Structure 1
Amino acid sequence: MVVNEQRDLETDVSIKEIQNEMSVKELMTKDIFVVDADATVLEVAREMTDRNADSVIVVDNGDTAGIITEKDIVSKTVAKNRLPGEMSAMEIMSSPIIAIRPSTGIIEAAELMVKSDIRRLAVMDGSIILGMISYRDIMAISPGLNTILQNLIELHREGDFLKETDVERGICQRCGALSDNLTEVNGLNLCEDCSEEEGYYD
């Protein structure tokens, strides 16, 4: 089953078809952004901005070493008052990288994201990275997956798979994004971006 890159985000694909036939290989993003472990965080941030990328793979001597996301840059440099020009990619990357095989089903991929408390996975064939898949890629193919992902979150919260936090984690009821910081606004659980659009400020 081939997924057109220009697929209509509102097209509803049956959950049974998704679970039985669709693999992450069909949804993954093949355009991978790679940086050297010695690159400064400032260089990484500038490259991510130029490429409009929300994550980057870090390599060390040609081997995959880890991944850096926007959250890593904010929480490990800005929030700690560290200078990004004086820190290396190696210092802030998340490692080891969590990966799945290209043949993995997307429901299984979504469950792994929830269990691991992450929003994207590397798709690897042995030691070779073929692409990346994010929760947004999965959510885009069918509105029905919103319910499945929310159920997975609740299941693992009840089973103590998720870390205890002070924030409400779940699916934004407006944009469908997985958020670590939901806020109830006018009866809806919204992510930070949608809360701001509603004029709500904490």
Structure 2
Amino acid sequence: MVIGTKWDVEEEGTAGQLLNDIVLREIMTQDVFILDITSTALEVAQAMKDNNIGSIIVSKDGNPAGIITERDIVHKVMAEDVKPSTMLAEEIMSSPIITVKSSTDVIKASEIMVKSGIRRLGVTNGDDEITGIVTDRDILTVAPGLNTILEDLIEMNREHDIPETAEFGRGICQRCDSYVDSLSPVNGLMLCEDCKEDEGYYD
């Protein structure tokens, strides 16, 4: 089934209901790894490597305080030439972490991601305990028709002072499958900024 636009989903009851019936508890990653806020960037990176994960939840006094992703490690530690063992998780985490209930449907979750400018949501069981993580990739894997919805939402929430660049376009990165607002052609592929750097290509 192909979904043409946001309005198609709203007007075609069957398609809209199908997407509304998919809730986050069905697609979220349940293996959530949590480290204390006093952990170092080195310990965070080692935990990511040992557990083959791309993000860590940071807690303070037993409560979720933020999230650290691989991108945070690269941009806030490596790119700044900081010794990982000297920087604390508190200094590099994104906070507060945005969470939603596990009963939230994928359309609502995608709207929250776009409006907040994030790729991951913490999923709770109704209280403050984070029981899972859901990414934009998780959502697009189960509901690929959402890419047009996300495109519409990005357009509606776009900052007017961000200039349009002809060589960039919105879509799904052909390497990491993330839906992003800007893609660049690199070696015959349309890649996001992170994957473009991984390919060794710089503007």
* Interval containing the TM-score (normalised by the shorter chain): 0.7 to 0.9
Map of 1:3 onto structure 2: none
Distance in 2 (CA, whole Å) between partners of 1:165 and 1:33 is 38
Distance in 1 (CA, whole Å) between partners of 2:108 and 2:133 is 15
1:190 aligns with 2:161: no
Distance in 2 (CA, whole Å) between partners of 1:50 and 1:140 is 25
Map of 2:149 onto structure 1: 148
Distance in 1 (CA, whole Å) between partners of 2:90 and 2:29 is 24
Map of 1:8 onto structure 2: none
**Deviation per CA, 1:61-89, whole angstroms, max 9, x where unpaired?**
21111111111111111122211110111
**Deviation per CA, 1:139-169, whole angstroms, max 9, x where unpaired?**
1113222222222222211xx38x8489857
Q: In structure 1, list runs of 5 or more residues that go unmatched.
A: 1-13
Scaled by the length of structure 2, the TM-score of the pair is 0.78
| Alpha carbons 1:174, 1:194 under 8 Å: kept | no
Scaled by the length of structure 1, the TM-score of the pair is 0.79
Distance in 1 (CA, whole Å) between partners of 2:169 and 2:115 is 13
**3-state SS in 2 of match to 1:25:** helix
Change (3 A) 1:17 1:109: same
Map of 1:27 onto structure 2: 27
**3-state SS in 2 of match to 1:97:** coil
Change (3 A) 1:193 1:115: closer
Q: CA deviation at 1:170?
A: 3.0
Question: How do residues 63-102 of structure 1 correspond to structure 2 at under 5 angstroms?
Answer: 63-102=63-102
Question: How do residues 119-134 of structure 1 correspond to structure 2 at under 5 angstroms?
Answer: 119-124=119-124, 125-134=126-135
Change (3 A) 1:58 1:165: farther
**3-state SS in 2 of match to 1:50:** helix
| Alpha carbons 2:147, 2:179 under 8 Å: kept | no
Q: CA deviation at 1:19?
A: 3.0
Change (3 A) 1:18 1:135: farther
Map of 2:3 onto structure 1: none
Change (3 A) 1:193 1:96: closer
Distance in 1 (CA, whole Å) between partners of 2:55 and 2:105 is 22
Distance in 1 (CA, whole Å) between partners of 2:45 and 2:196 is 26
Change (3 A) 1:100 1:184: same
Once the two structures are aligned, what percentage of the paired residues are identical?
Answer: 45
**Deviation per CA, 1:14-35, whole angstroms, max 9, x where unpaired?**
7423333111121111110111
Q: In structure 2, list runs of 5 or more residues that go unmatched.
A: 1-13
Change (3 A) 1:194 1:94: closer
| Alpha carbons 2:41, 2:88 under 8 Å: kept | yes
Distance in 2 (CA, whole Å) between partners of 1:47 and 1:62 is 18
| Alpha carbons 1:57, 1:64 under 8 Å: kept | yes
